[in-house]
Structure 1
């Protein structure tokens, strides 16, 4: 009997892809904190999930570009830059923690599959 990794791993691989893509977007924001007129971007997990087919999990990576959105700043700057350093750092840190959580779930899935294969 063959193992179907898509059904065995669930949404976790796509979640990791999302977290990597979001880290890139947030890192770009942080790199442009002093660029006049730069508009901070973000991608939201709930938007990506809503774009996925309900019956089948698709690769979310290709859909991320469609859902890119601009962040609304808490406080406007004079030069038109919407990046707020502390807010972006907090988002980046939370995204990193979420990535680590998703990676832990993936590792648990792989350990469970390994035990099934070994027959324990």
Structure 2
């Protein structure tokens, strides 16, 4: 009987990839906090996850059974964020408090998906070997 890793891991595999891409985008915002004219960006996680799952379902035809599909948020999923603060005069829309909060929330959600995957892998390992080690 074959084990379907797609069914075992669910959406958490794609969620990790999208969260990783979002962390990169948020880091770019922080790095450019003092850059005149820089506009803050973000990823719509729900839309990026839906897109990642649809890309994975379309990529089921692979050239070799051992190949894994890898998908992450694409450039068109990165959007400019509407600023919540008044313009400081230099055209930069990065709000450091908002960026820190978004980065913390993203990190917590990344860890949650990672813990879920770790528990699934541990359960699969136990089912295959008959032990927890």
Settle same-fold status: TM greater than 0.5: yes
Tell me the distance in 2 between the aligned counterparts of 1:37 and 1:66: 21
- After superposition, what is the alpha-carbon deviation per residue over 1:15-45, rounded to whole angstroms, capped at 9, x for unaligned? 0001110000000000000000001100011
Tell me the distance in 1 between the aligned counterparts of 2:35 and 2:50: 33
- Partner in structure 2 of residue 32 of structure 1: 32
Change in CA separation of 1:66 and 1:110 when aligned onto 2, cut-off 3 Å? same
Tell me the distance in 2 between the aligned counterparts of 1:91 and 1:103: 18
Tell me the distance in 1 between the aligned counterparts of 2:21 and 2:58: 17
Q: How does 1:1-120 map to 2 (within 5 A)?
A: 1-51=1-51, 52-53=53-54, 56=57, 59-61=70-72, 63-75=73-85, 76-119=87-130
List, as ranges, runs of 4+ consecutive aligned residues in structure 1 with deviation greater than 2 Å. Answer: 49-53, 55-60
Whether the 8 Å CA contact 1:42–1:68 is kept in 2: the answer is: yes
Work out the number of aligned pairs and report it. Answer: 119
Unpaired runs of 5+ in structure 2?
60-69
Whether the 8 Å CA contact 2:29–2:41 is kept in 1: the answer is: yes
Tell me the distance in 2 between the aligned counterparts of 1:50 and 1:70: 19
Whether the 8 Å CA contact 2:34–2:92 is kept in 1: the answer is: yes
Unpaired runs of 5+ in structure 1?
none
RMSD: 2.1
Tell me the distance in 1 between the aligned counterparts of 2:58 and 2:119: 20
Q: CA deviation at 1:103?
A: 0.4
Q: CA deviation at 1:5?
A: 1.2
Of structures 1 and 2, the larger Rg is shown by 2
